[in-house]
Amino acid sequence: MNNVNKKRRNRNNMNSPVVGIDIGEEKSTVTYLSPEGEVKENFEFDMNTDGYSEFASKIPRETRIAFEASGSAYVVDRTLRELGYSDITVAHPKELSWIVKSKKKNDKVDSLKLAKLHLVGMLPESHLLSEDERIFRDLLIQRVKLSSEISSLKNSIIGYLKREGLYSSLPESNDTFSEKRRTAIMNIRFNNQKDLVLKTMMERLEFLERQRDPLDLEIKKIARDNEDVKLLMTIPGIDYYLASLLSSYIGDVNRFPNADKLASFFGVIPETRDSSSITRRGHMSKEGAATARWALSIAVDTITLRNKPLKEYYNSVKNRNGSGKYAHVSTMRKLIRMIYTMLKERKEWKYENTALTESKLSRLDDD
């Protein structure tokens, strides 16, 4: 459900009772308020079938329910919906902490605060993925982790061969691990236990690469039917994998009112000017998902190699500020604005190479 429909639904139900749930691992605390703000119930329920049945026996189905995003949020959301509750809001933990700060953890107080904020429509909402979106995200994250392991292992193999003075003797190739290089590595013989060390590393590399292939196939299948992914693939340097990662984290772009909100979601802070007229330069924050920031950072690296306007922008910022790091973040912010416009207005990349895009899209059908 998009944000517009959520807000309309919440306005229509402002006269309904509300519940704030402080979720715990074994027990959760509930505060039930009347539409006038009177505490009608305050109780704990076990996080199991009997506990949810107790909750359902006390709380009417038309109640507006709120709880904070956590590791259990998906389970709680799904279970409550199965019990017939439809008006459920998940609060954004970071934004919520700015509104209400408790010196001590108190489940009863926290559930009351959630309920009161929800009653007056002041609860900052978090985005919960659908089941299909979660599966796609999980596939992508596994692919990211696997790629990291493969890259780390390749570096270990290269380091081992360099230490033994053998790396320079490998056949020349543009691909560090081309077939002829792999064959040469497997044919190396030390005639001692080093053979087992190298053999183990190479076999582990092959094992990890075999695990990567089925993930790629499933990601491609989903990407074929995702219009946002295909739109992002019109950007030179962005293949189905990076496009899928970016699309997965952005989701429905309409949930972001402007490009700056999307930038903040990625942890890229826009320039701001304080009261003394000193500019605070854009930077990276710890907000947002690390994988999303990584994908965006890789996208900037690849795009600036292939896109002259963005490369010129990066160089001009670097020359002006003397900082490659700031230039990188500034280019990330510019790319976010461009991506936001593309997804919002359903437009291809401004500097699209049509032939390249068609070639990339055709590879989605490769099995």
- For residue 288, pLDDT beyond 80: no
- For residue 271, pLDDT beyond 80: no
What pLDDT does residue 275 have?
A: 38
* Alpha-helical segments (H) within the chain: 3-12, 49-58, 73-82, 93-99, 107-119, 131-163, 179-186, 194-224, 227-232, 240-250, 259-266, 290-306, 308-321, 324-345, 354-362
- For residue 97, pLDDT beyond 80: no
What global pTM score does this model have?
0.79
> Rounded to whole angstroms, what are the CA distances from 56 to 59, 65, 82, 83, 326?
5, 12, 11, 7, 53
Q: What percent of the chain has pLDDT over 70?
A: 87
Q: Model confidence at 126, in pLDDT bands (50, 70, 90)?
A: confident
Q: What angle do CA 262, 298, 351 make, to 5 degrees?
A: 75
What pLDDT does residue 273 have?
A: 41
- For residue 247, pLDDT beyond 70: yes
- For residue 270, pLDDT beyond 70: no
What pLDDT does residue 293 have?
A: 87
What pLDDT does residue 170 have?
A: 96
- For residue 11, pLDDT beyond 50: no
- For residue 276, pLDDT beyond 80: no
Nearest partner of 121 among 17, 21, 19, 7, judged by Cα:
7
What pLDDT does residue 99 have?
A: 53
Tokens of 307: 């896109």
Q: What is the mean pLDDT of residues 98-123?
A: 77
- For residue 356, pLDDT beyond 50: yes
Fold of 3-119: Nucleotidyltransferase; domain 5 (3.30.420)
- For residue 8, pLDDT beyond 80: no
What pLDDT does residue 344 have?
A: 97
Q: Model confidence at 282, in pLDDT bands (50, 70, 90)?
A: very low
Q: How does pLDDT run across 138-163, given as a tens digit for each residue?
A: 999 999 999 999 999 999 999 999 99
Q: What is the mean pLDDT of residues 96-109?
A: 63
> Rounded to whole angstroms, what are the CA distances from 304 to 38, 230, 301, 311, 348?
58, 20, 6, 5, 18
Q: How does pLDDT run across 197-245, given as a tens digit for each residue?
A: 999 999 999 999 999 999 999 999 999 999 999 999 999 889 999 999 9
- For residue 90, pLDDT beyond 50: yes
Q: How does pLDDT run across 57-88, given as a tens digit for each residue?
A: 999 999 999 999 888 999 999 999 999 999 99
Q: How does pLDDT run across 324-337, given as a tens digit for each residue?
A: 888 999 999 999 99
